[in-house]
Structure 1
Amino acid sequence: MTLHLPDAAGGLRAYEPRTEPFAAATGAPLASRTVFSAAHVVADPFADASPDAPAAVDWDATLAFRRHLWSHGLGVAEAMDTAQRGMGLDWPGAAELIRRSAVEAKAVGGRIACGVGTDQLTDRDPGRSAPVTLAGIRAAYEEQLAVVEESGAQAILMASRALAATAQGPDDYLEVYGHLLRQAAEPVILHWLGPMFDPALEGYWGSADLDRATGVFLDVIAAHPDKVDGVKISLLDARREVDLRRRLPNGVRCYTGDDFHYPELIAGDEQGFSHALLGVFDPLGPLAAEAVRVLDTGDAAGFRALLDPTVPLARHLFEAPTRFYKTGVVFLAWLAGHQSHFTMVGGLQSARSLPHLARAYELADGLGLFPDPKLAEERMRTLLSLYGVTS
């Protein structure tokens, strides 16, 4: 039955929903690439919570979504920015999420890596007006690292808003990260999150010049290569990622966080390839896993044939302001039946416009991402009616 979807020009366009989903099935573990999906959190829609209150999480639905990802062979990157770290989920909520998800991972044999940051320093002070010292930043990182290691999960050292605001130059980054890597029990993943995802991270690694910043980042790794499993690069710059990938020490992996160019980066070239740790693999999970299984057979063309058509959806979800991509991710999870509502912690469901959401539905439906296309159509129709679209 025809849907009439709003467009950016203020009009309506007719759309015929797809009737059959993409036929994705669980299968053998992924072999040629290590692939993590950064997973979203599901809010409790019945909680009487204000945007400034601690997140009210629906733990059953949140953990069920992680089991969905594991069932398709993907790893889960937990408590990352996709889970609204710094945008609705505070550190106490993230710590509980890490502990609960790690227990679930052990129960099903799923791979999990968890974000370690310093957001307890800035949760109550988004403007960073309170003085923060390097010693305080180290202590905050250590507190979170201990929680992750005690849970049995791998640690992902996330970029720190507090460090970006406090560091006087590259030496401060070298000192803080060197201190953390020396005491890490197991090799960690270092995460370089660009300012398009979080404007507070402008000038990370001590310079707004990305060439200089890259040099500092590589110096951190070179000083402790045995403590770095890999690096996650989220700069939306494929050329820069490939250049950095080729400069990594032997044994240190590159995990692409580039939600614009992931097919080509994962496929790689004659000099190497990227593994993946991607927010866009939250909605793309089953299809992405199927594509990597094709790549496992050596069929790079077949891999690209499956994954390249997903890029327009990814670019739409992550369009500027990029940090609000979480809204589209949760919206698609609702349409796909992974949760019963479109409510987000912090009220972030209001962060994208109806035309943006309508286009996300159209692109996702065209890819066959909805296990029950009729349910997705009905839910899209419900949303449209709430906005006054009656046809």
Structure 2
Amino acid sequence: MDAAIAPVVLAWYDRQHRRLPWRSPPGQPAPEPYRVWLSEIMLQQTTVPAVMPYFARFLARWPSVHDLAAAPVDEVMEAWAGLGYYARARNLHKCAQAVSERLGGIFPDTVDGLLELPGIGAYTAAAIAAIAFDRPAAVLDGNVERVLARLFAVETPLPQAKPELRRLAEQVTPQQRPGDFAQAMMDLGATVCTPRSPDCLLCPLQAPCIARARGIAAGLPRKTAKAARPQRHATAFLLQRPDGAVLLRRRPPSGLLGGMLEVPSTPWHDTPWPADDIADHAPAARIAWAPLPGRAEHVFTHFALAITAVHGRIGAAAATKLDGLWQQPAEAVLPTVMKKMLGLLPDSAPKSKRNPRRGQGRP
């Protein structure tokens, strides 16, 4: 069966491929490695629709890896704001600098060479090697895992099934057009062999699919039950000058949301903050902090954060003595969780317009 899979999938891809700005049409010369790398980093745990406007803005602002390497890291982080998983942006900049300064702007064309660069793991290295350099590397993202688990009826739950799925990916990856094949498998998982209600009647692999024959396709791949996500709590300090600008700070360069602007807040605790303890963490002394109604929620990969807020005002002269910077709420370039904190500002507080609350993985 293995030898018959690639021709069928490639023929389907030639007819049904998604048109994406980082791709070349089927059978055409491979796209520029810089575009492939940039898109693959952005697509990690993020959907194609969410990535497309960011990809266009990055490419317009930094059209080459040299341009991106020369950009201040703070500008790169701000341009990334709202895309999530901010360690990707820090590693993106580090990788651009490594390629620009050490490799003369030329990306390695092998999996091993790509793995030596910051922020590039096994999946991303295989994807770049296959798509940009047509290397017969086995590309295994969530979409491909799902297609293979159903095609071969792999009932071992994830993540334990990953070694078996990798072996199967290596078996079916062709020597000819491996880049198109990788993208075809991704498209098949994203548009036909979907997580729920796979459209088996439209699938080019319906005949050899073992899970379909057994009637278990919708239940694969199986997944090990996840532990409950821990809940944490924070209180945000929404401090405003007379002109409505709010106080923001920059987070440390490493760790969660490293290098991004933030709304000052209490530490993120496992239990709600007692009212008497909140002011101990305030960014300014002698402020009359007023509790605000409502709360916001934000879900990170490993925990959920419940956010309350207090509001304070400060004079223009006193504001100049505080560490941080002042920005109008509607103009601040912030991670989504911080936008949610600003969304708790009272209607009576001066601000140019209501902040949208934007939600945030790859279909």
Q: Same fold (TM over 0.5)?
A: no
Range into which the TM-score falls when normalised by the shorter chain: under 0.3
Quick check: which has more Rg, 1 or 2? Answer: 2
Instruction: Say which structure, 1 or 2, has more relative contact order (CA 8 Å, 6+ apart).
Output: 1
Structure 2 length-normalised TM:
0.26
Q: Higher helix proportion, which one?
A: 1
Structure 1 length-normalised TM:
0.25
